[in-house]
Structure 1
Amino acid sequence: MGPLKKSKERSLLIGLVWTLCLGVIILRLLWVQTINSDEWIAEARENWVKEEKLRPHRGKIYDRTKEEQLAWEVDAYKFGAATEEVKNPKKTAQILAPLLQIDENVLLEKLTQEKKWVELKHGTKVKYPESVYKKITDLRKKGTLTGIYSLPTSQRKYNGVQAAHVLGYLNMDDKAIGGVESKYDKWLRGKEGYIKYVQSKDGVMLSDQPQEDRPPEHGKDLVLTLDSQIQRQVERKLDEAIKNYEATGGTAIVADPKTGEVLAMASRPTFDPHRYASTLTKENRGNKAVESQFEPGSTFKIVTLAAAIEEGIFNPNATFQSGSIRVGDQTIRDWYPGGWGTITYGEGVELSSNVAFVKLGQQLGAERLIHYIDKFGFGDITAKFGRKTGIDLPAEGNGYFFNRPPYPAELATTAFGQGISVTPIQQVAAVSAIANGGVWCQPHVMKEVWDSEQKKRIKTFKPTKHRIISQKTAKQVRERLRDVVKSGTAQEAEVPGFRVAGKTGTAQKPDPNGRGYLKDKYVVSFIGFAPYDHPDIVVYVAIDEPSSAYGNVSGGTVAAPVARDILKNALQIRQIQPNKQIVDLLK
């Protein structure tokens, strides 16, 4: 074979190889551009199409005046590190530790991770105010810090511990926990938006207009029924009482009986929503006003009294022998040793005689007494649990009952508030019905929902209402409760210039480890309203385990004075004028 022929064959072979390679490339291009195009386009889009979520602003929470904010958002910042850009991790950790309030060793561990990006957070240390942002930014500009970047966000703010249990809080992941924040989270949080755009290699938008976008729908604002002025006064007076009597806790509620609006609600001990991780404990986690369930004691006698008057059984001038009464195999005694001898039922109400109410309960009979307890919103005592008021706060308790028809002795003690457990808010709703002319009104804390962008009200809370006793009966009960304050066990609740009506309660605490009650452990309380003839506000105060070292601890000596101060302040704030005749008599 000659040289020429070999050269031609070599050229032909090379040509065939190139033709084959070119054919493979063409086939591959056809495959990529047609059959497998979706996969490659999707991968490319990940590189040059950017999608970002747009966070909505959380709605504000106002008090009833819509002038004072109870919860709102402020600008805040998160911080992260591009670890490859951090020149000196140890020095960086030393500088950041006091600014971020994170342990230096924890920061050093984060900065030396193999990840390209790490968030500089630890525990609840996630968001920081603008003051921290400025300090870190200044250090970065000076070259002291490298690879540290800020991410703008927002942070929820509150007025310290004010109404903490009513409001709830947001945790480090911006999840609503407890209170109004949780109950109305769907209104408050709004809806996320998003933006899609084509970006350059450096992440810069290549067009003035995004490919696709949806603006965030900002959260709605809530106007609560709370009055900030009354709330502050209530918390101050409650704190003073707990401190003065070395009590373990307490709760207080102020409500408008005509509407069911809660004007103030406080529980102690409390927590700081800004520092929930370090201040929340087992003892202060719950809202006592709606969650705690305990024997009401003598404040429950109001229900028995109202039932007896409604049924025409109560005769204030009829007499009975006070001191003690035998029911089944039990002897029930008055709180005052030996009683007061033969007294009238009217006096029995003023003196809070247990015997008087046992007798009234017996005259009513089991069926009617059970019926009226249910009508007043507590539920059927033959069931295991009571009935919630439906207040718009989470974790409401419902009370504990007998889970069967009560025995005669149990029915007798129920008539004066012993042997069953109810919640403070149930009692407030029940007594508000007396103050409201016999109409029971659902308690609530939300007043209105507002769209701040459009500056218009979009929802108003409308509570359920229904009559449970006649106006005539309600008026007579108010008069009897007025006597309790005027000349009975609740005289310390009287407010000069106003006619206060109410009832005290001193309930023993059941022994959680067995039958019977704990020695010298009481929940002392007062519930009442003013002015008694045209009530504007209802007040409930309960102090848990006041120390007996201060002498006689009872609803009349401990809770009634607190209620008096709360009533006085609240009536002034609501601009309720004192009775001129009473003022003249006091001169």
Structure 2
Amino acid sequence: MNSLKQSKKRVAWVAIVCFTPLFLFFVGWFLYLSVTHTYKGENMLAFAEEQRWKAVSTLEAERGEVYDRFGQPIAINIPSYRLVAVLKLGGERVKGKTLMPDEFAEAAKQLSTVLPMTEADLLKRLEQNADLGQIEFGVPGRDLTVEQKEEIEAFDLNGITFVEEPKRYYPNKVFASSVIGYAQKIDQNGRIELVGELGIEKSLNDILSESYGLYRFEKDLAGRELISSDEQLKIEPEDGADVQLTIDHRIQQLLETKMNELYEEYEPKHATAIIMDPKTGEIIALSDRPSFDPNTREISSYSNFSVSSRFEPGSTMKIFTLAAAINEGVYNPNELYESGSYKYGKTVFNDYNITGWGTIPMVEGVWHSSNVAFSILANERLGLSRYEDYFKAFKFDQRTGIDLPGEVNSQFDFESPMNVLITAWGQSTA
């Protein structure tokens, strides 16, 4: 037997020895799976049945919108678009459907007329990511308007497409911004949602938030829906609830104008103005400075000073001290007293003009906002303990509960009787 025949024979035996056990293993494994329908402890038929349910579609919903008391829009939803360049389909470049490398330069040239990116930067991004299936263009390629989308579509560029996303829009711009706040996009496992981050948008987020729906159905091997199937599952989407505020857009706009004038003239560190209906407590307008446009969110302060800061009420507090004294029947408008100064222990309190107005009736003391008159009412007529009860009855020791985040409580110390007395005419307590 020559050497060639011997070599062929050895190769044949090696093939038989090596591949016969492997062949028998696969045949046995196939027979085992066919009979038991089990792999790694899992029933393959059940798994295959489950895979039929993998056709799932998300049903979209919208975030609730915010309106003023007359139905004027304050926070609304508009469509926005994210630009995508498809470079490959199924891992392959497809002429006419994907953006080809020899089309990069023209695409960069055209897109640079719409996006805030230079032609060179666009071309560089395309060339550096040419091996990817698709690419995006970062911040410049997001939040595109309908007009920008249509302008790009007019270029008729292959592979250039858009993903529609929700966007919150504030048509009045700087308008009760610390009240309204803002909502921004959050990526929830690939689905873009709007989430409130400040103001009403945050505090009422659960009310405004939408609930996405779900549509799950059976499909055939080609992925087509089985229309006749009675095993479909559909969860209807639910839009968020709209919110109507007590804000009056006309008065709010006027207040914003006046706040701008004040801020420019006096340049305060911050300022707050509130317009309230005294009969109902409804907030008609509220404005803070510094403020911001919630569309661009160039924010220097995230505080709403109307609810997050404290201040001594000053002589406005005397109205409540007077009301308590009248209610208890201890206020006599004709009672005479010596204005100018009042001694409590070793401390002497003065009226704002120090010398006072001589001996005058209590009613004139009210007209003059006399610290002495209200010290007498609180300490000698009403009594400090009873005044403290009224302080709490007026709920000055509690938050208002306004629908805005970050409200602080009052700050007071009634362990000291002197603090109670000073509070009666507007100081010591914030």
TM-score bucket (shorter structure): 0.7 to 0.9
Change (3 A) 1:312 1:107: farther
Matched with 1:57 is 62
From 402, 417, 428, the counterpart of 1:419 = 428
Matched with 1:383 is none
Matched with 1:75 is 79
> Secondary structure at the residue paired with 2:296?
helix
Alpha-carbon offset, residue 152 of structure 1? 0.7
2:284 is equivalent to residue 263 of structure 1? yes
User: What letter corresponds to residue 171 of structure 1 in structure 2?
Assistant: Q
Alpha-carbon offset, residue 256 of structure 1? 3.2
Alpha-carbon offset, residue 306 of structure 1? 1.0
The two structures, once aligned, show a CA RMSD in angstroms of: 4.0
> Secondary structure at the residue paired with 2:165?
strand
User: What letter corresponds to residue 261 of structure 2 in structure 1?
Assistant: E
Q: Distance in 2 between matches of 1:103 and 1:50?
A: 41
Q: Is the 8 A contact 1:93 1:104 kept in 2?
A: yes
Change (3 A) 1:186 1:38: farther
Alpha-carbon offset, residue 339 of structure 1? 2.5
Matched with 1:406 is 416
> Secondary structure at the residue paired with 2:27?
helix
Q: Is the 8 A contact 1:102 1:122 kept in 2?
A: no
Q: Distance in 2 between matches of 1:195 and 1:50?
A: 8
Q: Is the 8 A contact 2:38 2:44 kept in 1?
A: no
User: What letter corresponds to residue 404 of structure 2 in structure 1?
Assistant: L
Change (3 A) 1:349 1:214: same
> Secondary structure at the residue paired with 2:373?
helix
Matched with 1:35 is 38
Q: Distance in 2 between matches of 1:136 and 1:40?
A: 49
Matched with 1:170 is 183
Alpha-carbon offset, residue 86 of structure 1? 6.1
TM-score normalised by length of structure 1:
0.58
- Tell me the matched-pair count: 395
Q: Distance in 1 between matches of 2:348 and 2:385?
A: 23
Matched with 1:217 is 238
Q: Distance in 2 between matches of 1:11 and 1:206?
A: 49
Matched with 1:377 is 395
Alpha-carbon offset, residue 198 of structure 1? 7.6
Alpha-carbon offset, residue 390 of structure 1? 1.3
Q: Distance in 2 between matches of 1:17 and 1:101?
A: 64
Q: Distance in 2 between matches of 1:399 and 1:105?
A: 58
> Secondary structure at the residue paired with 1:29?
helix
> Secondary structure at the residue paired with 2:206?
helix
> Secondary structure at the residue paired with 1:405?
coil
From 308, 331, 337, the counterpart of 2:325 = 308
Change (3 A) 1:14 1:240: closer
How far does the alpha carbon of each residue in 1:451-500 deviate from its partner, in whole angstroms, 9 at most, with x for none?
A: xxxxxxxxxxxxxxxxxxxxxxxxxxxxxxxxxxxxxxxxxxxxxxxxxx
Alpha-carbon offset, residue 300 of structure 1? 1.3
Change (3 A) 1:207 1:239: same
> Secondary structure at the residue paired with 1:153?
strand
Q: Is the 8 A contact 1:126 1:172 kept in 2?
A: no
Matched with 1:393 is 404
Q: Distance in 2 between matches of 1:110 and 1:50?
A: 34
Q: Is the 8 A contact 2:53 2:219 kept in 1?
A: yes
Alpha-carbon offset, residue 77 of structure 1? 0.8
Change (3 A) 1:318 1:78: same
> Secondary structure at the residue paired with 1:207?
coil
Q: Is the 8 A contact 1:197 1:205 kept in 2?
A: no
2:258 is equivalent to residue 237 of structure 1? yes
User: What letter corresponds to residue 151 of structure 2 in structure 1?
Assistant: K
Alpha-carbon offset, residue 100 of structure 1? 3.6
Superposed, 1:111-190 pairs within 5 Å as: 111=126, 112-113=128-129, 116-122=133-139, 126-139=142-155, 141=156, 143=157, 147-158=159-170, 159-173=172-186, 174-190=194-210
2:290 is equivalent to residue 281 of structure 1? no
Change (3 A) 1:77 1:358: same
TM-score normalised by length of structure 2:
0.78
Superposed, 1:336-347 pairs within 5 Å as: 336-347=353-364
Q: Is the 8 A contact 1:320 1:344 kept in 2?
A: yes
Change (3 A) 1:137 1:31: farther
Alpha-carbon offset, residue 108 of structure 1? 6.6
Superposed, 1:408-447 pairs within 5 Å as: 408=418, 410-421=419-430
Change (3 A) 1:72 1:50: same
Alpha-carbon offset, residue 163 of structure 1? 1.8
Q: Is the 8 A contact 1:322 1:343 kept in 2?
A: yes
Q: Is the 8 A contact 1:32 1:40 kept in 2?
A: no
How far does the alpha carbon of each residue in 1:344-392 deviate from its partner, in whole angstroms, 9 at most, with x for none?
A: 221121221222222222122221111111111111xxxxxxx111122
2:336 is equivalent to residue 326 of structure 1? no
Unaligned runs of 5+ in 2: 1-10, 89-98, 187-193
> Secondary structure at the residue paired with 2:407?
coil
Alpha-carbon offset, residue 199 of structure 1? 8.5
Change (3 A) 1:334 1:11: closer
Alpha-carbon offset, residue 99 of structure 1? 3.2
Percent identical residues: 32
Q: Is the 8 A contact 2:53 2:218 kept in 1?
A: yes
- Larger C-alpha radius of gyration, 1 or 2? 2
Q: Distance in 2 between matches of 1:13 and 1:212?
A: 57
Unaligned runs of 5+ in 1: 1-9, 380-386, 422-587
Q: Is the 8 A contact 1:94 1:104 kept in 2?
A: yes
User: What letter corresponds to residue 85 of structure 2 in structure 1?
Assistant: A
Matched with 1:99 is 114
User: What letter corresponds to residue 229 of structure 1 in structure 2?
Assistant: R
Superposed, 1:521-532 pairs within 5 Å as: none
Q: Is the 8 A contact 1:75 1:152 kept in 2?
A: yes
Matched with 2:214 is 194
Q: Is the 8 A contact 2:218 2:226 kept in 1?
A: no
Q: Distance in 2 between matches of 1:330 and 1:94?
A: 80
Change (3 A) 1:253 1:315: same
Alpha-carbon offset, residue 103 of structure 1? 7.4
User: What letter corresponds to residue 180 of structure 1 in structure 2?
Assistant: I
Q: Distance in 1 between matches of 2:242 and 2:416?
A: 48
Alpha-carbon offset, residue 236 of structure 1? 2.7
Change (3 A) 1:370 1:337: same
Q: Distance in 2 between matches of 1:148 and 1:73?
A: 25
Change (3 A) 1:193 1:108: farther
How far does the alpha carbon of each residue in 1:411-443 deviate from its partner, in whole angstroms, 9 at most, with x for none?
A: 23211111111xxxxxxxxxxxxxxxxxxxxxx
Q: Distance in 1 between matches of 2:100 and 2:424?
A: 74
Matched with 2:93 is none
User: What letter corresponds to residue 149 of structure 1 in structure 2?
Assistant: T
